[in-house]
Amino acid sequence: MGLVILTGFMGAGKTTAGMELGKKLNLPVYDTDQLLEKKYRMSVKEMFAAYGEEKFREFETEMLQHLSEAPAVVTTGGGAVLKEENRHVLKTKGQIFFLYCDFDVLYDRLKEDTARPLLKEKSKDQIEKLYESRLSCYLDGSVKINTTGKTPHDIADDIISRL
């Protein structure tokens, strides 16, 4: 089976759906942001502040390259697929699912979130432009899963039906 990899924009439901999917498939769940936070002993927000986005993306690439290919669910950070190298690595390690929902739903989930450095002091239009600029990367080699109005249970079942 390899890895079941969940990608998508911030707030799409990767973490909660990934946990539910792991339970249903009886597989471990690895969140790449949490793995980076453990390795570097600081939050993603702190890494961005200390090193900048470019260096953070290098840390992310290294993390993805070293993921085991043993069956597991992997939830990625919203920008993990921005680098072509990362998308290639993920394609070789498992099946990729792009979780998405209506932008207004995403925005409602994100507008009060202060833990996401890329959203700091951004307007709704700016966040939507960021989302749209990433779409082609999310779509590259992935199966689309619409999460709008679905529970984590429903999302997990949808993914399982497509494995």
* pLDDT (mean) for 156-162: 97
For residue 122, give the DSSP letter.
Answer: -
Q: Which domain holds residue 137?
A: 3-162
What is the rounded CA–CA span in Å between residue 106 and residue 22? 23
CATH of the domain at 44: 3.40.50.300
Q: Does residue 78 have a known ligand-binding role?
A: yes
Sheet holding 3-7, edge to edge: 29-31, 72-75, 3-7, 94-100, 142-146
Q: Which residue has the tokens 């702190």?
A: 46
Average pLDDT over residues 33-52: 94
Listing DSSP states for 22-75 in one string gives HHHHT--EEEHHHHHHHHHTS-HHHHHHHHHHHHHHHHHHHHHHT---SSEEEE
Query: Model confidence over 15-37: pLDDT tens digits?
Result: 999 999 999 999 999 999 999 99
79 is known to lie in a ligand binding site: no
Confirm whether residue 134 is marked as ligand binding.
yes
Q: Is 13 annotated to bind ligand?
A: yes
Q: Is 156 labelled as part of a ligand binding site?
A: no
Record the pTM.
0.93
Find out whether 61 is annotated in a ligand binding site.
no
Q: How confident is the model at residue 150 (pLDDT cuts 50, 70, 90)?
A: very high
Q: Is 11 one of the annotated binding-site residues? A: yes
Query: Known binder of ligand: residue 147?
Result: no
Angle (CA) 139 72 89, round 5° = 45
The predicted structure's pLDDT at residue 62:
95
What average pLDDT does this structure show over 133-153? 95
Number of domains in the chain: 1
Q: Is 162 annotated as a binding residue?
A: no
